[in-house]
Amino acid sequence: MLKKIILSAAIATLSLVLFAQELTHESLVINIEIPVRVFKGSSFVDNLTIEDFEVYENGKLQKIEAVYLIKKTSIKKKEEKKKFTPKVSRNFVLLFQTMEYLPKVGDAIEYFFNNVILPGDNLTIITPLKTYNFKSKALEVLPKEEIIKQLKSKIKKDTRMGSLEYRSLLKDLHRQISSPDEVSLSISRLLLSRLEELRYVDENKLLEFADFLKTKEGQKHVYLFYQKEVLPQLDPATFAQLMSLQQDQQHLLFELLDLFSHYRRDITFNVDRIKQVFSDSSISMHFLYITKLPTLHDDGRIPSPIRWREQSEDIFNAFREMARATGGLTDSSANAASAFQKAVDASENYYLIYYAPINYTRDGKFKTIKVKIKNKNYRITHRTGYFAN
């Protein structure tokens, strides 16, 4: 009899637990925030209402709870079926992947401090060597001109130091190819392998970067300055020179051609995964592709017998897709300041849309988001989705 009582009590307790879990599951409400930018041509459209927007998740129309029009860090207009408290402070990240210091980068820094940063904003600058975290309160301590001067100096120094090994490898490669023999071929192979390692893009670091920014409140803007890359190839004059080698040395020509033909980079990270993680972290990544070719010697000469061909298509396509997936912009220009100003100006105005997904479940899957404007053919940028965790 005692066993039956204990068993009945256990069943009743289990039923209550399951019932409570079911109630908890049914009452789970998640609100999704989407920064949305709407353009007609190159102009931001700022007269839209909540009734103009449609939001689809995994292809299903959702109910919009609120829409806010944001300009810089001010809420200019709001329409609420449910009240929210948008976080409109800004976290800026300027990330430099350049082979040389470009004077226009200094102009971009000046523009940022003179026209963009406001109280409450945070700035992180990532150079090839270091990371610098800047709080807007520093403007109360140091004159703006002094801050600009110090940051420009640090970026210039770090860019130069960060490219020293790359430049040194290129000079060594130049020397080896100038007098080809069996030993120089072996050394060249090692040099090219090391060059490839320096160009490697680490997927784990990208994921860690996204996770770090996800913890930040407010809007997150990443501006990636990426300078056009070049890869070595044999100069035709060198080819002709090697053809004149003695018969027993002409195999060097074919080995050199084979060595350079296999020198290329494959994308080593999962682009789709990175796109989803950056989108989930609500990061707007703006890809600024600097088309100015790097000068590879201090005196500005391009070394011979090596010529240089552009090799950025692989990374360009990957980062362009990442920018698109986060609602960011992509621009190609030889002028880093102009590209930066255009991206900043385009990203300062946006709508914040809130909706509660229908039948939300924490299944860990990536949910796609699509925003449309009713009966209008505008250009719209926004993040492509989130993970239901």
Q: Where are the domains of the chain?
A: 1-30, 90-350
- Report how far residue 46's alpha carbon sits from residue 65's, in angstroms, rounded to the nearest whole number: 19
The rounded percent of the chain whose pLDDT value lies above 70 is 81
Higher pLDDT, 150 or 189: 150
- Report how far residue 286's alpha carbon sits from residue 324's, in angstroms, rounded to the nearest whole number: 9
pLDDT of res. 303 = 52
- Asked if CATH classification 1.20.58 holds for the domain at 90-350, the reply, yes or no, is no
For residue 255, give both structure tokens. 């080995």
pLDDT of res. 196 = 78
Q: At residue 18, does pLDDT exceed 90?
A: no
Worst-scoring range by mean pLDDT, 97-101, 176-180, 249-253, 257-261? 249-253
Higher pLDDT, 118 or 10: 118
Amino acid at 274: I
To 5 degrees, how large is the angle CA 164–CA 301–CA 181? 75
pLDDT of res. 4 = 46
Amino acid at 11: I
pLDDT of res. 146 = 92
Higher pLDDT, 5 or 141: 141
Worst-scoring range by mean pLDDT, 59-73, 109-123, 219-233? 219-233
- Report how far residue 137's alpha carbon sits from residue 22's, in angstroms, rounded to the nearest whole number: 48
**pLDDT confidence tier of residue 48, bands split at 50, 70 and 90:** very high
Q: At residue 236, does pLDDT exceed 80?
A: no
**pLDDT confidence tier of residue 357, bands split at 50, 70 and 90:** very high
Mean pLDDT (whole number) for 8-26 = 43
Worst-scoring range by mean pLDDT, 16-20, 51-55, 228-232, 277-281? 16-20
**pLDDT confidence tier of residue 27, bands split at 50, 70 and 90:** very low
Mean pLDDT (whole number) for 129-145 = 85
- Report how far residue 286's alpha carbon sits from residue 288's, in angstroms, rounded to the nearest whole number: 6
Amino acid at 176: Q
pLDDT of res. 7 = 44
pLDDT of res. 343 = 95
Higher pLDDT, 135 or 50: 50
Q: At residue 154, does pLDDT exceed 90?
A: yes
Please enumerate, as own/partner, the contacts of 103-106 that have beta carbons within 8 Å and a separation of 24 or more: 104/335, 104/336, 104/337, 104/338, 105/152, 105/155, 105/225, 105/336, 105/337, 106/152, 106/155, 106/156
The mean pLDDT value of the chain amounts to 84
pLDDT of res. 305 = 57
Worst-scoring range by mean pLDDT, 154-163, 221-230, 238-247, 342-351? 238-247
Q: What is the pLDDT of residues 300-352, one digit of tens each?
A: 454 555 666 667 777 888 899 999 999 999 999 999 999 999 999 999 999 99
3-state helix, strand and coil shares in percent for the chain, rounded to the nearest 5: 45, 25, 30
